[in-house]
Amino acid sequence: MAPICAELDRRNMSYAICVTAQHREMMDQVLEFFEMEPDYDLDLMREDQSLNKLTSSIFTEIDAVFDDFKPDTVLVQGDTTTAAAIAMAAYYRKIKVGHIEAGLRTYNKDAPFPEEVNRQVISRIASYHFAPTKKAAFNLIEERIPEETILITGNTVVDALKISLEKVGTSTYSSEIISDLKSRLNPKNKLILVTGHRRENFGEGLKNICEALRKLANNDPVDIIYPVHLNPNVSVPVYSMLGNRPNIFLIQPVIYPDFIWLMKEADIIISDSGGIQEEAPSLNKPVLVTREFTERTEGVEEGFSFLVGTNKENIVLKTREILSKPRHNANVSNPYGDGKAAEHIISFLENQEL
């Protein structure tokens, strides 16, 4: 949403930022990097909180924000429980909803869970649908969403990456964490960047991923960097299975510019993240998607992403295959946008009767 806020500032349009404070440490770092300050902080996150508890808290607290700011339109991004609950709450107040990153689908309600149902719910509510790709727009049309309410914009995550690359600058970028990694990485090794946080991979799936990483670390000339998600369902098994290995670097979640540097330097990314699937094409980095389904099929079709699920043999074999081949470095077109999504979205909203 940072590029949206920047575009609203550029046009001198009134807006307010509301956050729920999910993963406070990571959120605060991102807000600082993009020079954003929330107007409303619901501070709803509690350790090991259930989705039902979170949803009920959002419904309870958001009315005061609506009463104070009196928005004409509420913009929500993506498919989180926060986005779905806020959209529903706005609908109950007869406030228009604009959905950024609309139309992504797997049509499997359990993959990703609960995101697939969240985004479908938002699509039934929203007045404006900002689809990142033609395929996403087609999904909405097939679901009988009025075509005049749909705009293909690209995804604002590509805008954010573009802004970030300008801020991070050249390969000389450094921070305390990056400087430490630079001193410990083997320059002769291929670099694998790993992330993981999806609920459907908790348990056996995450263990399989860790076993694959352990096999690669034991038998291949690689260094593995894994910024470990704060959720104990992730951190406990990861540190247990991958800790104390000389070429596996388990680090705390990093600030956004550090992560941009890591993506730029990596030879391959192994992740279940949707945003990374959209960012990586701009950096010409291959992504092994540790999910059984992806709503971002454009990256798969164009050879940026590879669905491997949580099968450890698939992960090891595909990683070795990709790392054994030189990566074509020609300029590539990102199927998820040209970095102007925020401009397209705000131009569209300016022309609506809000």
Taking only the tens place, the pLDDT of each residue in 72-105 is 999 999 999 999 999 999 999 999 999 999 999 9
pLDDT classification of 329: cutoffs 50, 70, 90? low
Contact, 156 vs 77, CB < 8 A?
yes
Q: What is the mean pLDDT of residues 60-67?
A: 97
Same domain, 131 and 23: yes
**151 lies in some domain:** yes
Contact, 13 vs 346, CB < 8 A?
yes
The answer to whether 197 is a known catalytic residue is yes
**328 lies in some domain:** no
Q: What is the mean pLDDT of residues 206-227?
A: 96
Same domain, 65 and 184: no
Same domain, 116 and 244: no
Nearest of 69, 77, 82 to residue 98 by alpha carbon: 77
Which CATH number covers residue 110?
A: 3.40.50.2000
Distance CA 16, CA 70 (A): 10
**197 lies in some domain:** yes
Which residues constitute the domain of residue 212? 174-323
Catalytic residue among 99, 197, 229, 344: 197
Residue 110 has pLDDT above 80, yes or no: yes
Residue 166 has pLDDT above 60, yes or no: yes
Q: What is the mean pLDDT of residues 297-317?
A: 94
Residue 284 has pLDDT above 80, yes or no: yes
Same domain, 6 and 147: yes
- The lowest-confidence range among 64-73, 125-134, 196-205, 325-334 is 325-334
**271 lies in some domain:** yes
What dihedral angle (degrees, nearest 10) is formed by the CA atoms of 203, 206, 208, 214? -130
Same domain, 237 and 278: yes
pLDDT classification of 328: cutoffs 50, 70, 90? low
**71 lies in some domain:** yes
Residue 127 has pLDDT above 70, yes or no: yes
**169 lies in some domain:** no
Contact, 267 vs 284, CB < 8 A?
no
Q: What is the mean pLDDT of residues 188-195?
A: 97
Same domain, 190 and 131: no
| Pure H helices in the chain | 2-10, 24-33, 51-69, 81-92, 115-125, 134-142, 156-168, 176-184, 204-219, 232-242, 256-265, 274-283, 297-301, 312-323, 341-350
Same domain, 52 and 185: no
Same domain, 114 and 209: no
Same domain, 119 and 216: no
What is the reported pTM?
A: 0.83
Same domain, 150 and 29: yes
Q: What is the mean pLDDT of residues 288-313?
A: 93
Same domain, 9 and 116: yes
- Counting the structural domains of the chain, the total is 2
* 231, HSE (Cβ side, Cα atoms, 13 Å): 16
Summary mean pLDDT of the chain: 92
Same domain, 307 and 346: no
Residue 173 has pLDDT above 80, yes or no: no
**168 lies in some domain:** no
**167 lies in some domain:** no
